[in-house]
Structure 1
C-alpha cells in the first residue's frame, strides 16, 4: 500500500471527524452521509461502488422486485469481468415475496444465503477494493423506494485492510454468514407454502379517485383562465396514461354545460370514456348517451359519439349548430381529417377542447391552428413520471444478438433476425431480466412484418404463446388478440408499428424493443404502451435490444426528454444513467459503447433537424417563431443557431425557409455579431447596454451603472472597459490595427463612448429605423440573451459548473484581446491564469501525450505545465509566486471537461490553490524520443466536487 494513499485516507477521516478546514478530503474515501436527492441517491452510490469494486457483500432484511431489474444490469457487467459477490437476507416478517428469491436464484455471480439469526434487520453493503474496504450502512433496505426516494440516512465509510472498522465489519458478516443457509429451490418451495402476501393498496387504486391530482389541478385552472380571456378553443397535451379522460371529465364538471358532446374515432374508447365521466360527474344514468352505429340516444345531456357516425349528413341534421355549448375531441391529433373538419364547420359551441398526447403527428393540417394556437396545458412524459401519474419503469438497454461476429444492424437479413439462435438469445435475456411474480403480458416491437410472424411462431414453439399483429389485419383480429393477452392466453403480442398510439392495454408489464429507433416520438410512444397503472403492476420492464444502428443516439435524447441538440446532455444521460422519479435508466457497458459511437457520428444540430423543429413550433404558434420562442418553449435551445457553423444568424436560416427578410450587408454583420457573441447570455453587461441604447440614443454611464446594479451585475473598471472593447470590436482584432473580415462582423464599432455616455453608431441607428426585419431580429437576440442570463450568476465572472470555451474565458476575464487560439492548456496573466484540463486517464491518451491529469480527491487534481518547462522557467516562477508562503499571487481559474469528444466547452470548477509540497519537475515520456521536462503540481479546488459532478467529469 502506498504511503500517499494511507495519508489521503487519514486526512479524509480527520476532515470528516476533526476539522474540515484543516485537512484535505477525498471524495471516494471520506466518510459521508448519503441521502436521496434529485441528482444523487443511495442507488447511485451503490452502483458507483459496484462498478469499481473487486468483490461485494450485502446484508439486507428486505428486498423488493422493483430494484432487482436495474441491479441485474450491473451484475451482468460484473460477471463478464469475473467479479462475484455475496448477499445475505432473510424471510423476516415474510416481507420478501417468494418471487424475489426466484429472481435471486438467477444471479450466477452472487451467492445468496438466508440468515438464521432471530430478528435479522440489517441494512449494510460492503465493497472490497484494491487496498481498502468501503461500507454503506444505515436505514436503506434493497428496495426501490429506499434507494431512490425515501428519506433515508446512510453513512458511507472506508477503512484500510488492517483497520479496526474493517475487521469489525468482516467479523460480524462472517459470523452471520456462517450461521445461515444457502438459498435453494427446495427452501423456496417450502417458503411459498407458508408465505402470506401482505395486502397492499395498489397504485392503480389511486387512479380511481375522483379528486384531481397536482397536475390535473394545474390544468383545470389553466383551462378556466383560458376561457376567461374569451377563448373559444383550447388544446391540452397530455402524455399517454396521465388520465386525460378524467381531466376532461373534471373540466366538464367545473364548466357545467347545458349539453356536452364527446367525439372520438373508436367505439372502444367511447364506452370507457362514458364510464369515466359518469364516475366523475355523477347524476342520472339517462343523462349519458351514445351516438354510434345504430345507437342514437340524441337527447342525452352528455352525448358520446364516434366521428364516423356524427359526420354523416343525416345524423348532423338531427342537431342544430348550437345544441352543445361544450364539445370535446379526444385524440385531437386526428382532427385534421375531413370528417372532423365537417364537424368544425357545422357545430358552434361556446368552447371546443382538444386533447392529445401527440399534437405533432398531423401531416397536412396544423392541430394547433384548429384550436386557435391556445395550448392551455401540457403534461409531458418526464413530468408525469416525476409526479407518479404513471407506472414507473426500468429501462434496460442491452446489446442485441451477434451472428458470425457481427451485431444486428439495419441490413441484417430476415433469416438472422428471426433465427433460432437469436430467439434463444432473446429468451435468455427475458428470463434473466424478467419478473417471476407476475404472468408476463408483453408487447414486442420489431422492424419488419415478416419478422413479427416468424418470431411469434418461434416463441410459441418454445412455450411463450405469441401472436403477430400488423396493419394488414382487421380491427376485430387485433381486438381479439388484445383480449387474449389480457386474459393470459397470450404472453406476447408482436408488431411493427400499429401499437405506437391509440391502444390502451394497462396490463402490459413488459415492452421489448427489437428494432431501430427511428424517432424520439415513436420511441416514447412505444415505451409508453406499458406505463398505464394497473392492479398489482408495480412497474414495467423496458428491454431495448440495441444493435449497430446509426440512430442509437436518439435513445438518451428520448429518455431525458431533452430537445436541445446537445451531445453533452445525451452523454450525461448515458453516463450517469439517472433516474426519473422512481423510474431507472440502465445500459450495459457494451450497449453504452454502441450509443456513444452513434452520438459521435451524428450532427445533432444539422440543418435538417433545425428545420423540423422550426416547422413544428411554427405550426404550434401560428406564426414565424423567433429565437426567444425557442428558448421559452424549450423545443430547441436558441444557442444552437449561434453555434451552427453553416448559419451566420437566424435571418440566414429564415431565408432558407423562404421568409423574405432581406437585410443590408451591415445589418447582416451586426446581427451575426450579437448572435455569435452575445446570445449565449454568459455576461449580461453588453446585452443590458444594447437594450438601453435601442430605447434611447444616448445612455449616460451613471444610467448604465444603475441598470447593472438593478440586475445585480458585478461592476469594476475592468469589466466596463471590457464591454467597450467587445462592442467596439477591439477584442476581436487579434493583431494591432488589423481589420475584421467584412463578411464576419464588419469593421465599424457598434457603439461609441464619449464624455461618459454611450451611443450607437449612426449606421446601426439607421438600420434599426429603416429595416423592420433587422430591428425585429436584433431585439429578439437581445431579449433571448437576457433570458439566458438567468442561468448564470450575474454577480460573478463565472458560474460554477457551467460550460465555457477558451474564447468565452478571455472575454469574461476582461482581457483586451481574444487570445484563445494560442492559449492551449493555460495562459499566465498578470492577475489570473485560466487552466483548461481535458480529463483522461493515461490508458485513454495517445502515448505521446501522457499527461496524467487525475483527481486524487474530490477537491484535488494533478496538473502539469506545458513542455519543456523547469522550476526556473519564467512562466513557472511567475505561476508559483507566493505559493510557498501561502500567499499565491496568481488566481487560478480551473476549467475541466471529460474528453475532446464533448466539444469546445469546459466546466468551470472555480478557483484553485497550488499545494506547495506537491510541486516537482517530472519527465514526460515520448516514444522513440527524448523525454520532455514538465513541472507537475496538485491543484486544490476551493469548492470540492459533489458525487454527481465527479461522475460527470470522470465517468467513474
Structure 2
C-alpha cells in the first residue's frame, strides 16, 4: 500500500515542469482555491482522516474553524491518533473560549508561541506511506477554509523529502520554544483578554428590525435585503400581469414578515388584514409593520382574544377568533383590499376557508416555508397556482441571509451492542448512562458565543420532563415545554431563556414554527427524523442571525431508526428520493453553501447508509401522495419532465423503475382510465426502460428525428459527430441494433415487442409499430415526454465518451455502451472479454453467506491501485486469462465498475480504466490458501478514484 515513488516523481514533473507529460502520476501538487466545486477544508479533511499524526501551525483560530474538524478529530481519537497545534495570541484574535474548546479535544496538544509577528499557516498530515502539507493563506477559521478567496498549495512528500524535513525541524524548534496551554493558562488569558476592535463587514439581514436599519439622509431607514428586493419585484410583476393572488415560499428566518410589510408599503392598500394561527405571531408582526409603515399606533390593531380593534387600518387577527360567525359578520367583504395569510400551508383548513370565502381583497398574499405540509389540503389553487417567489435553505445560506450552521450527526447511546431505536423504553432513553453520553457529545461539539441557548427536541412529553429533571440535577438549568403548557407559560419560559436563565428548553414539537428566538445557538435532536419538513423547521429555530452567534451548532443523535434516510433529504433539500443521490450527499463534503458544514461520525453515517439501502421509497401510496402534491402545485397533470425539474418531488426514475411506464403508474393510482394498445404499451416500456435515462443520447436524437421524417443514415451520423458526441461506425451500428431490437435478449423482446426503426436503402424510417403508436395523441404525448426527459437527464453524462467516470451503470448498460452486438449481461458474471473490451464488475462488500467460489478478495490498496482476483479455478495458463492478458498488452481497455454491496441494486459506479501491473501477476488459492486456484493482479487506475466514493466503498458495513 506504499506510495509509488516513480508516480510521485511523475506528479511533480507534471506539476512543476510540464503539464502535458503522459505518465501515470499520483498525488500531484495542487493549488486549492475555495469555490463551489472544492475548498481547502474538504481537501484537508481527506488527508486528516487517513493520517497517523498531524502538526498545525496557525496564527488565528475561531470556534467555527475548530468545529469543522471536530468530527474527524473524534474519529482519529478512536484510532488513538494525536496531533499538535501551535497558535498565538496575536492581536488578541483567538478568544479564551477557543482555547477552552481546544483543551476539550483529547487528542490535541496545544502551545502558544510568543514569536513576534507570528502569522504562519501550515497544516501537515503524516501517515505511514507519505506526508501531505498545506501551505498558504488559510487560518483555522471556517470562512478561510471554506468560503474566502484563499491560495493554498497542497504538496505530498515521502518522509525523507527536504521540504517536509525542513518544516518538521522548524515546527519542533517553535514547539520547544512555545508555552503549553492548560486550564491555568486559559484562566490567566481570560482575565487579561481584551477584544481588539476589528473592522468587520457582516451582512446583517435577520428578522429583527434593527438589522434592517441603514443611515439615511433623514436618519435611520429600513431597507429590504437582497432576497426581499427580488421577491418584491416578482410580486409587482405578478400584479402587472393582472394576477390578484400570489404565494411566497421562503425558508424560515429569511424575513417573510418584513417582506410582507415591504409589499404592503409598495401596494399602499386602503386597509390590510394579516392572518395568523397564533396570537404571539400577531404581536411581533404588528411591531414589525409599525416600524416600517407610516401611521399612528392606533392604525395597527389586534383582533384576538380580548382585543378587538376592528376599525384599525392594519389589522392583525388570529384565524380562530376572526372565523367565528359573529366576529366575521362585523366586516364587509370589501373592507380589506390586501390580505396576508401567514403560514399559508395551513390555509386549506375550514377556518381559513371561511374567512377567505367571506372577503374579496384586491390582492391576497400567502407566505410559507413549507408548502409541502398541506395535510392533504390543496393550497396552491387558493393562490391561483401563482408562486411569486421561492427561496429555500440552500439559497438563503448562500445569500448569507441566515446564520451558518455546523451539523453533527453523532451516534446515539449504545449498550450491549444495541443502539437506541424507535422501540427503546423510556427508562433507557433517560438512563444515567445515556445522559452521560448525551452530555459528552453536547459538551464536545459545544456552541458559538459565550452563553448557551439550547433547544432540545425529544420523542414524547414524559421524556421531555424526565430529561429536564435529570439535566437540572447535573447543574444545567432547563425546562420542559409541551403542548399541555398554556401560552402564558410558554412565553414566560422563552423570556427566561432569552435572558440567560435557562440553558435549554426541552420540547416535543411545539417549537416547530411560529417561534422566533434568534439567540438559539445549539439545537439538539434526540428523536428520529420522521419528516424532512419537521427537521428543517426545527433546524430553522436556530438559523436567525444574532450578535453573539457566529454559527448554529446542530447535534443530531442518530440511532437505529428506519427513517434515517430522511436526514440527507432534509439537509440537502433534495426530495428526489433517488438513492444514489442520497448516498452521494453523504460522501460529498460540499452539499451546503457558505461556511456551513455537515459532519457525520462513522457509525452514524453507516446507520444512514443502511436506512437508504433497505427502505422502500417507491410505495404506491407515497408516489401517489407526491403526484397529487405536484399536480396541485402546477394546477395540471404533471409530466415526467415536471418531476425531473422540481426539487420538491420524487425523481421520475423512481417511478419508471417501479412501473413499466408513466401511464401505467397513472392508471394504477386511478388518475386516468384511458386504455392504450398492447403495441403502445411495449413501446412506452422500451423508451422508459432503455432510453429515458439518457446514458447515450444518440438514440434519443435519432428517434426525435424519425418521428418527424425519415433520416439519411450517413447524414445523421455526420450531424452527431459535428455536435461533438462520441460517434464511430461501431457506435452507429450499436445504436441501430438497439432500436431494431437486435441487441436485446428474448426475454426483453417479450416486453418491448416490435422494433422502432428500420433501414431502407441507407435511410432510417419509423416502423409501422412506432407509426401506429404515434397516431394516438395520448401515446404521442407520452413518447415526447420520455424523449424530453432523456435529453434533460443526458446532461449528467459525458456524451463525448462511451462511459462517464463516477456515474452508475448496469452490466447491460456496459454491453450497450461498449458497443457489443448483444446484451450478454446474464452470462457476464464478474467480467467478460469481448469485442476488444473487458468490463470488470466488483461488489466490494460481498454477502458473507455466498459461496466460497465467488468470495473474491478484491480491494483498493489506495485510490490508484486495485487488487483484483479472477474467477476461481483459473490459473495463469487458463485460456480465459491468457486472452485477457494478451489483449490488454496490445491495447484492449479494461473498464472497472464497483458497487459497495448488493443493497445498491444492479448498478455499479464506473471508476475508469485500469492498467494491469504485470509484475503483480501471481497464482494463489482462495480461502487463505486452502481453496480453489485463482489469479491475482494489481490494476493501476487511469486516474485516482474519487476520494468520496473511495471512502464510501472502504467504510465498514455495520450489520
- Residues 419 and 559 of structure 2 are in contact (CA less than 8 Å); yes or no, is this contact kept in structure 1? yes
1:189 aligns with 2:180: no
1:762 aligns with 2:775: no
- Residues 841 and 853 of structure 1 are in contact (CA less than 8 Å); yes or no, is this contact kept in structure 2? no
3-state DSSP of counterpart to 1:126: strand
Q: Which stretch shows the higher mean deviation, 500-509 or 255-264?
A: 255-264
- Residues 888 and 894 of structure 2 are in contact (CA less than 8 Å); yes or no, is this contact kept in structure 1? no
3-state DSSP of counterpart to 2:826: coil
1:527 aligns with 2:539: yes
2: CA distance between counterparts of 1:449 and 1:591? 26
User: Which residue number corresponds to residue 205 of structure 1?
Assistant: 204
- Structure 1 pair 133/761, CA: closer, same or farther in 2 (3 Å)? closer
2: CA distance between counterparts of 1:151 and 1:291? 51
Q: Which stretch shows the higher mean deviation, 288-297 or 562-571?
A: 288-297
| CA displacement, residues 115-172 of structure 1 (integer Å, 9 cap, x when unaligned) | 1322222211222311433322221111111111111222222333333223212211
2: CA distance between counterparts of 1:293 and 1:845? 69
User: Which residue number corresponds to residue 758 of structure 2?
Assistant: 752
- Residues 64 and 96 of structure 1 are in contact (CA less than 8 Å); yes or no, is this contact kept in structure 2? yes
- Residues 203 and 533 of structure 1 are in contact (CA less than 8 Å); yes or no, is this contact kept in structure 2? no
| CA displacement, residues 38-97 of structure 1 (integer Å, 9 cap, x when unaligned) | 243222222222221112222211110112234222222222222222121111110001
User: Which residue number corresponds to residue 253 of structure 1?
Assistant: 265
1:830 to 835, 847, 851: 835
- Structure 1 pair 609/337, CA: closer, same or farther in 2 (3 Å)? closer
User: Which residue number corresponds to residue 518 of structure 2?
Assistant: 506
| CA displacement, residues 321-367 of structure 1 (integer Å, 9 cap, x when unaligned) | 23433222111112122222122212222221110011222224211
2: CA distance between counterparts of 1:354 and 1:842? 52
- Structure 1 pair 935/435, CA: closer, same or farther in 2 (3 Å)? closer
3-state DSSP of counterpart to 2:165: helix
User: Which residue number corresponds to residue 339 of structure 1?
Assistant: 351
Report the CA distance between 1:912 and its aligned residue: 5.3
2: CA distance between counterparts of 1:386 and 1:844? 47
- Residues 36 and 590 of structure 2 are in contact (CA less than 8 Å); yes or no, is this contact kept in structure 1? no
| CA displacement, residues 767-812 of structure 1 (integer Å, 9 cap, x when unaligned) | 4334x54333333222222222233344443334322222112222
2: CA distance between counterparts of 1:889 and 1:511? 57
2: CA distance between counterparts of 1:899 and 1:61? 45
1:908 to 907, 910, 917: 910
1:683 aligns with 2:696: yes
1:589 aligns with 2:588: no
2:654 to 607, 627, 640: 640
1: CA distance between counterparts of 2:346 and 2:112? 57
User: Which residue number corresponds to residue 610 of structure 1?
Assistant: 623
Q: Which stretch shows the higher mean deviation, 236-245 or 160-169?
A: 160-169
Return the TM-score normalized by structure 1: 0.91
1:598 to 611, 617, 641: 611
Report the CA distance between 1:196 and its aligned residue: 1.5
2:108 to 107, 110, 120: 110
3-state DSSP of counterpart to 1:359: coil
- Structure 1 pair 842/767, CA: closer, same or farther in 2 (3 Å)? closer
Q: Which stretch shows the higher mean deviation, 499-508 or 703-712?
A: 703-712
1:449 to 444, 447, 461: 461
1:228 to 240, 249, 252: 240
- Residues 587 and 948 of structure 2 are in contact (CA less than 8 Å); yes or no, is this contact kept in structure 1? no
1: CA distance between counterparts of 2:492 and 2:321? 23
- Structure 1 pair 901/225, CA: closer, same or farther in 2 (3 Å)? same
1:546 to 558, 562, 565: 558
Report the CA distance between 1:231 and its aligned residue: 2.3
- Structure 1 pair 188/211, CA: closer, same or farther in 2 (3 Å)? same
3-state DSSP of counterpart to 2:204: helix
1: CA distance between counterparts of 2:194 and 2:342? 43
2:410 to 389, 398, 404: 398
1:410 aligns with 2:422: yes
| CA displacement, residues 376-418 of structure 1 (integer Å, 9 cap, x when unaligned) | 2222222222222211111111122234543222222222212
1:920 aligns with 2:898: no
Matched residues, number: 939
RMSD: 3.2
1:791 aligns with 2:793: no
User: Which residue number corresponds to residue 419 of structure 1?
Assistant: 431
- Structure 1 pair 571/190, CA: closer, same or farther in 2 (3 Å)? same
- Structure 1 pair 609/391, CA: closer, same or farther in 2 (3 Å)? same
3-state DSSP of counterpart to 1:127: strand
3-state DSSP of counterpart to 2:500: coil
3-state DSSP of counterpart to 1:251: helix
3-state DSSP of counterpart to 1:573: helix
Provide structure 2 residue ranges, at least 5 long, that are not aligned to the other structure. 213-221
Report the CA distance between 1:706 and its aligned residue: 8.1
3-state DSSP of counterpart to 2:557: strand
Provide structure 1 residue ranges, at least 5 long, that are not aligned to the other structure. none
Q: Which stretch shows the higher mean deviation, 535-544 or 894-903?
A: 894-903
3-state DSSP of counterpart to 1:653: helix
1:377 to 362, 365, 389: 389
2: CA distance between counterparts of 1:301 and 1:128? 69
1:722 to 734, 758, 768: 734
- Residues 202 and 535 of structure 1 are in contact (CA less than 8 Å); yes or no, is this contact kept in structure 2? no
